[in-house]
Structure 1
Amino acid sequence: MTKLKAPLPVTADTDGDLASLRGDCARMAPHWHAPDRVNAHPVSPSLIHGVEVPSAYARLLDAMSDYGD
């Protein structure tokens, strides 16, 4: 991890508007590193198993309204 010499200036924006979010992202972008290339390989459906959802959670999600209501 890179140690910064001086802390980044922080502007307290309690409203959290889109412009301040974009500004935060622009200030942080030089610190984010992504690999040049990601080699993703397909996974066989037979290897995907073991996902269980407790019935209480399934009922909770079923009772929730759809996104955007």
Structure 2
Amino acid sequence: MTNNRAHTVHAAPAPADLEGDLAALREDCARMAPQWAVPERAAEPPVPPSRIHGVRVPVSSARLLDAMPDYGN
């Protein structure tokens, strides 16, 4: 036996402004939130600094970051 009922698909209205605003973004997020999966377990705790060793940063990367006002100077 088959179900011959037609299913109506309602498309979301096209946004008037492609950039949108904060209110539109919050509205979109609230609408999508029920569809997002919840992680099964909590995130791993951060690694203590005493366990971090042997990290090497290439000189070119260090110079690049040093030249950026947000990170260097």
Q: 1:30 aligns with which of 26, 30, 34?
A: 34
Where does the alignment leave 5 or more consecutive residues of structure 2 unmatched? 1-8
Where does the alignment leave 5 or more consecutive residues of structure 1 unmatched? 1-5
Query: Which 4+ stretches in 1 moved above 4 angstroms?
Result: none
TM-score, structure 2 as length reference: 0.53
Structure showing greater Rg: 2
TM-score, structure 1 as length reference: 0.55
Q: Which has the higher contact order (CA 8 A, sep 6+)?
A: 1
What percentage of aligned pairs have identical amino acids? 57
The two structures, once aligned, show a CA RMSD in angstroms of: 3.2
